[in-house]
Amino acid sequence: MSARTPLMAGNWKSNLNHHEAVVLVQKLAWTLSDKKHDYAKSEVVVIPPFTDLRSVQTLVDGDRLQIRYGAQDVSQHDGGAYTGEISAAMLAKLGCSYVVVGHSERREYHAETDEVVNAKTVKTLAAGMTPIVCVGEGLDVRQAGEHVAYTLGQIDGSLAGLDAEQVAGLVIAYEPVWAIGTGEVATPEDAQEVCAAIRGRLAETWGDDTAASTRILYGGSVKAANVAAIMAKPDVDGALVGGASLQAEEFAAIARFY
């Protein structure tokens, strides 16, 4: 795979029990296989709730599926006396390839700061998984015209202290909060503006090679009908998809944007 193979990641959020998870992954795998999906042209990742991961692992391993999977969050601690927390080592043991870190719903409803997101990113990398680090502005920031500066501030805080190799190995998801679950999609130009600014910041801080290797996704009401126009933008390397990833045919069509 090239360094920036397009990545389509489906964040199921708090939806689907482990029986439903198996049905959805089977349908997705079957649809992709039926349409002769080329996984080298777009990597397909499902991000179910924690409680579904073991079932998804068993299915993916047993049927040797090319679909990969990950978790929606991770503890900033290594393990021990942290009731309710799931450590990075536990997720790695379950075969997770990816972990979503700092999703706007975690930042908003669980008061996750850039410092917490940074700690979770470090733990994910140390356990050998790829963090998908989410950034993006709310509507008030967008209306004030400060979306680029705000998002770059989140990049600086969330990736503080990482070295170039670590940054080249992670994934960033730019998700304007006003476009998540609202049906309101940023235009391809809006997505490109901020994704290009993020890549510029990566180049300034970690060098051109790192910036050229890091995948930057767009997220916010992505569907089969709009994905191709978004993916045509040079700094967009994939999509983080919420609602539309709960329907196998729709998500398969998104993955097959090419």
Position among 76, 210, 221, 226 found at the interface with ligand PEP (CB under 6 A): 221
Q: How far is CA 25 from CA 12, 120, 225, 248, in A?
A: 12, 27, 22, 8
43 binds ligand PEP (CB under 6 A): no
Which is closer to ligand PEP, CB of 241 or CB of 253? 241
What x/- string results for residues 154 through 193 when contact with ligand PEP is judged by CB under 6 A? ---------------------x----xx------------
**Rounded-to-integer distance, Cα 90 and Cα 170, Å:** 19
112 binds ligand PEP (CB under 6 A): no
Position among 8, 220, 253, 255 found at the interface with ligand PEP (CB under 6 A): 220
Total Cβ atoms within 10 A of residue 144 = 12
Which is closer to ligand PEP, CB of 119 or CB of 180? 180
CA dihedral 118, 221, 130, 162 (to 10 degrees): -30
Q: How far is the CB of 73 from ligand PEP (least distance, A)?
A: 12
CB 121 within 8 A of CB 131: yes
Q: How far is the CB of 167 from ligand PEP (least distance, A)?
A: 21
**Rounded-to-integer distance, Cα 86 and Cα 197, Å:** 33
79 binds ligand PEP (CB under 6 A): no
Which uninterrupted H or E stretch holds 11?
Answer: strand 7-11
Residue 175 a catalytic site member? yes
